[in-house]
Amino acid sequence: MKTRFPWHPYLFGLFPILFLYAQNAYRVPLRQVIGPAVVVLVTITLLAVLLNLAVRNVRKTALIVSAVVIWFFSWKHLADAMPEYEQVIAYGFGLVVIAVIVATLVTRHTLIKVTGLTNGISLVLVTLQIGLPEWAVASQPRTGTSPSRTDPSVSLTVHTTLWKAALGTSMCAGTRTRFACSTAC
């Protein structure tokens, strides 16, 4: 029987940080991604270890942790994109996560195929973000008008936003992300 290690919770956790970095690669050095990434990875590991004590199945634990991580990093951005439906999105997304958790807990299947599929999806998402910073840097004007990597105000703004992404708080519009927020940083 072929076994697959469920590393998708870690990749889903890294995705928002890498996404934000990819959108700001020409403004901020890569080393500013390390702190928030460590916080996310340690938090996911602790959550997975504690949850696995109760569930006692690594694949089920990983699917539950992935659902929670996706919910944690996503629902506010969806709500900010459609503010008139914020409560519907909050409750709807929460119900979907609860349904995934319940379905995962009650299933008797080994979840090997689901783990492989989820690993693949998370790997594609992260791989796309790893390639984007080079595209972003290459697409910037070479006239000297692009922000400098050493500009402390830009660096601090993006660094703060990376930490907010790691901690799950709202990301702000001035950081060149695709998400526009209705609240200030």
Q: What are phi and psi of 141, to 5 degrees?
A: -65, 145
What pLDDT, on the 0 to 100 scale, is given for residue 23? 83
What pLDDT, on the 0 to 100 scale, is given for residue 4? 77
**Which token pair is 36?**
């928030």
What pLDDT, on the 0 to 100 scale, is given for residue 181? 38
Q: Which residues contact 73 (CB under 8 A, 6 or more apart)?
A: 12, 13, 15, 16, 165, 168
What pLDDT, on the 0 to 100 scale, is given for residue 29? 85
CA-nearest of 31, 102, 40 to 70 is 40
- Measured between alpha carbons, how far is 175 from 121 in angstroms, rounded to an integer? 26
What pLDDT, on the 0 to 100 scale, is given for residue 130? 81
Render each residue's pLDDT in the chain as its tens digit; 185 residues. 466 799 999 999 999 999 888 888 778 888 899 999 999 999 999 999 999 999 999 999 999 999 999 999 988 888 888 889 888 888 999 999 999 999 999 999 999 999 999 999 999 999 988 876 665 555 555 444 444 444 545 555 555 666 666 665 544 444 444 333 333 33
- Measured between alpha carbons, how far is 73 from 86 in angstroms, rounded to an integer? 15
